[in-house]
């Protein structure tokens, strides 16, 4: 097939795979349209469980006028093209970053401080220590979390013109990534957004192909009298990773006989097809979310100076909110050619030629929340107070392909409350006090409390102070893991985590500094013998982060540093320092008709005993024998922009031109070879 047709084919296959889900999403949206008109409002969101939303101070987010108050379609049509978005748990508007300096970093959703198994879209872990502090029951497979769309990450948009964004990246070894978003306001009070992304990569080593498909539909509207507000979302995530068990030895990377990395032997033997692994992990997620809020309050009519124009304004004082959240998470593991040595962590086993090891675990959640809300203060200074109760149903099912499917049904009840004020303008305080507490069911005693306040100064910058406390139940996978050949059962206590954190952004100096201290008790982890353990001793992890941007003429130097240190003998290993430095030059080209940046970037971490990875559990595990001591990773980039088209060409892992050995991401899992990637983002606006 010609190379030029492959991107088109991938887009077609993505759309075909999700056609059924899209139709399912459009039906409830159309039903909503029969009952009300819609648009994003400027009133504080009534979602509980939120954190204050902060903008990236280094991004090019320019404030623009709010066009959502236009009442007449003719007034709305005359507005210039303006697009903004908000997150579910915040009313702070954001604008899409159109800057060019860091554009090459923003392709595909993997932050700098995450590391994968060496292939695009493969299971990843965070090198900055963080725990999942979500209270309540959950399945527990987290190695793809960084790539997912979640209800807290998707955008609820308002736009005065139909807006389409198309991104594409192409690299070696069949590496491709496509991301397409379309949004438009059906009228000034109703927006509809659709986004889909697909990635695939074969990788440089044997049998490590990975692919992912992510999509969401979101819609938000508000009635003309601003009393009724609805937000709707449908989210789909699907990931698959072929497992090779890692290479046999890192020393083979320096052996000239293995200059072709695909010839290096790996721990899992291939099946009937040499390019396909008999072992793979797959995870899929579906989520349906709808939030309805009806408010009572004060109505005002604002006239202009000559009384020729009037603007309607509604200030809420009391509201009732209902949230329905339905989710399904499915995880599958399959080994079609099992090796007894690979399962020796459990027991001595023997397999016939046609045996297959399978594991199937699924979690279905139906979550209903009701709350009463009140609002104090003026329109741009509203303080939101919420109190509510939630009822949640969880079903965990495990299928071993021999007996009937094992199902565990649980009912839980919880209360939640929030006091929040968003900073909708500069020089305003924002603060948050948030609580979720489970009082009935298997998760009884789980809680999460957050407290945070911040202030932004127009000329000086912004500071944030906060604290949180969480008590979280063990995940289902940590308690029960069942396959068709073995079963593991554990009993653990709840994990506790107390955090103190602060952040300071000094605008004049272009410097951002952060601090976090975590105090953790009853930490649960997977050890080197592949058994889940609990470390009962309380320990702490201290972290400092800093970022400074220097500009001198056409040159810019961006520097990021992370320092972290654990206290005691806790079963975690962390790199003491993480460093990233980027030197860029803004090159004048074609009489400044073309914006362009040329630059180099260096990433480095100090030596440490990084976590290993096991395919059976699809988890990273604690190990204390192998130390990763990598040379700095080097890349060079060329970013350019022509009108609404931004593009980049990047050479990655260029340090291999000086050192033959690949950087090791995880013991047994090297990073890719030196390679070149190309990508672009094209904005189309009617």
| Tokens 């024998």 belong to residue | 625
Instruction: Report the alpha-carbon distance of residue 340 to residue 514 in Å, rounded.
Output: 48
Instruction: Report the alpha-carbon distance of residue 395 to residue 381 in Å, rounded.
Output: 42
Residue 677's pLDDT is what? 93
pLDDT at 26 over 60: no
Structural tokens at position 668: 């047994």
Q: Are 356 and 338 in contact (CB under 8 A)?
A: yes
More confident residue, 32 or 62: 62
pLDDT at 577 over 60: yes
Residue 23's pLDDT is what? 36
Instruction: Report the alpha-carbon distance of residue 268 to residue 245 in Å, rounded.
Output: 5
- Sequence-distant contacts of 487-493: CB under 8 A, at least 24 apart: 487/400, 488/346, 488/531, 488/532, 490/532, 492/522, 492/524, 492/532, 492/534, 493/522, 493/534, 493/536
Structural tokens at position 455: 């202030």
Residue 457's pLDDT is what? 80
Can you point out the beta strands (E) in 473-576? 480-482, 487-489, 495-506, 511-521, 523-526, 532-535, 539-552, 555-566
Burial of 158 (0-12, 13-18, 19+ CB in 10 A): buried
pLDDT at 65 over 90: no
State the average pLDDT for the chain: 84
Which residue, among 209, 197, 292, 282, has the nearest Cα to 244 in the 3D structure?
A: 209
Domains and CATH numbers, the chain: 3-242+275-685 (2.40.170.20)
Instruction: Please count the residues of the chain.
Output: 686
Residue 665's pLDDT is what? 93
Q: pLDDT confidence of 298, banded at 50, 70, 90?
A: confident
Instruction: Report the alpha-carbon distance of residue 408 to residue 394 in Å, rounded.
Output: 8
Instruction: Report the alpha-carbon distance of residue 42 to residue 508 in Å, rounded.
Output: 30
The 10 Å CB-count burial string (b at 16+, else e) for 439-461 is eebebeebbbbbebebbbeeeeb
Give Rg (Cα) of the chain.
26
Structural tokens at position 519: 């105090």
Please, how many CA atoms are within 13 Å of residue 435, restricted to the half-sphere of its CB? 14
HEC sequence for 121-152? CCCCEECCCCCCCCCCCCCCCCCCHHHCCCCC
Q: Are 122 and 587 in contact (CB under 8 A)?
A: no
For β-strands 511-521 and 125-126, DSSP reports them as: unpaired
Mean predicted confidence (pLDDT) in 312-331: 91
* 3-state DSSP assignment of residue 422: coil
Of 158-162, 274-278, 323-327, least confident by mean pLDDT is 274-278
pLDDT at 253 over 80: yes
Mean predicted confidence (pLDDT) in 348-369: 89
More confident residue, 364 or 591: 364
Of 229-243, 305-319, 535-549, 661-675, least confident by mean pLDDT is 305-319
Residue 3's pLDDT is what? 39
Q: What percent of the chain is predicted at pLDDT more than 70?
A: 84
């Amino acid at each position: 097939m010609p190379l030029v047709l492959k991107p088109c084919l991938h887009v077609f296959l993505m759309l075909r795979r999700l056609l059924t889900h899209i139709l399912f999403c459009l039906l409830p949206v159309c039903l909503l349209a029969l009952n009300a008109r819609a648009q994003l409002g400027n009133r504080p969101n009534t979602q509980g469980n939120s954190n204050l939303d902060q903008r990236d101070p280094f991004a090019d987010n320019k404030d623009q006028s709010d066009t959502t108050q236009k009442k007449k379609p003719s007034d709305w049509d005359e507005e210039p093209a303006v697009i903004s978005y908000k997150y579910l748990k915040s009313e702070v508007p954001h604008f899409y970053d159109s800057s060019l300096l860091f554009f090459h970093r923003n392709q595909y959703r993997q932050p700098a401080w995450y590391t994968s198994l060496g292939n695009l879209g493969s299971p990843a872990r965070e090198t900055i220590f963080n725990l999942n502090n979500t209270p309540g029951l959950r399945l527990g497979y987290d190695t793809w979390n960084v790539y997912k769309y979640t209800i807290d990450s998707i955008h609820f948009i308002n736009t005065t013109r139909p807006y389409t964004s198309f991104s594409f990246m192409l690299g070696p070894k069949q590496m491709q990534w496509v991301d397409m978003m379309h949004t438009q306001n059906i009228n000034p009070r109703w927006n509809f957004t659709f986004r889909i992304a697909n990635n695939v990569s074969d990788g440089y080593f044997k049998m490590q192909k990975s692919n992912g498909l992510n999509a969401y539909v979101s819609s938000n509207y508000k009635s003309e009298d601003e009393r009724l507000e609805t937000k709707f979302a449908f989210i789909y995530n699907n990931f698959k990773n072929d497992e090779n068990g890692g290479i046999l030895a890192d020393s083979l990377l320096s052996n000239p006989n293995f200059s072709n990395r695909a010839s290096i032997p790996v721990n899992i033997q291939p099946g009937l097809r040499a390019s396909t692994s008999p072992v793979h992990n797959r995870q899929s997620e579906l989520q349906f979310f709808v939030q309805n809020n009806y408010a009572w309050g004060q109505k005002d009519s604002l006239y202009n100076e000559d009384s020729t124009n009037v603007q309607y304004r509604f200030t809420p004082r009391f509201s009732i909110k209902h949230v329905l959240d339905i989710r399904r998470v499915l995880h599958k593991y399959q080994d079609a050619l099992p090796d007894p040595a690979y399962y020796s962590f459990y027991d001595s086993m023997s397999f016939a030629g046609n045996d297959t090891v399978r594991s199937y675990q699924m979690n279905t959640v139906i979550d209903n929340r009701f709350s009463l809300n009140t609002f104090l203060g003026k329109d741009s200074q509203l303080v939101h107070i919420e109190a509510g109760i939630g009822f949640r149903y969880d079903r965990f099912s495990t299928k071993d392909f021999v007996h009937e499917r094992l199902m565990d049904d649980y009912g839980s009840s919880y209360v939640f409350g929030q006091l929040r004020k968003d900073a909708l303008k500069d020089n305003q305080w924002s603060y948050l006090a948030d609580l979720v507490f489970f009082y009935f069911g298997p998760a009884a005693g789980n809680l999460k409390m957050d407290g945070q306040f911040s202030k932004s100064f127009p000329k000086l910058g912004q500071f944030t102070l906060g604290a949180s406390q969480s008590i979280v139940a063990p995940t289902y996978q940590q308690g029960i893991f069942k396959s068709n050949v073995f079963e593991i059962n554990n009993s653990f206590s709840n994990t506790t985590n107390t955090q103190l954190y602060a952040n300071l952004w000094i605008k004049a100096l272009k410097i951002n500094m952060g601090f976090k201290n975590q105090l953790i008790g009853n930490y649960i982890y997977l050890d080197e013998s592949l058994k889940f353990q609990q470390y009962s001793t309380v320990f702490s992890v201290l972290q400092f982060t800093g970022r400074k941007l220097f500009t001198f003429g056409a040159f810019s130097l961006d520097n990021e540093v992370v320092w972290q240190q654990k206290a005691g003998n806790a079963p975690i290993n962390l790199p003491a320092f993480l460093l990233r430095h980027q030197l860029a030059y803004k090159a004048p080209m074609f009489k400044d008709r073309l914006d362009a940046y040329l630059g180099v970037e260096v990433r480095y971490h100090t030596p440490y005993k990084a976590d290993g990875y096991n395919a059976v559990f699809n988890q990273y595990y604690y190990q204390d024998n192998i130390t990763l001591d990598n040379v700095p990773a080097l890349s060079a980039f060329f970013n350019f922009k022509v009108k609404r088209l931004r593009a980049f060409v990047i050479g990655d892992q260029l340090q291999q031109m000086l050192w033959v050995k690949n950087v090791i991401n995880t013991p047994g899992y090297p990073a890719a070879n030196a390679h070149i990637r190309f990508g672009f983002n094209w904005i189309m606006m009617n």
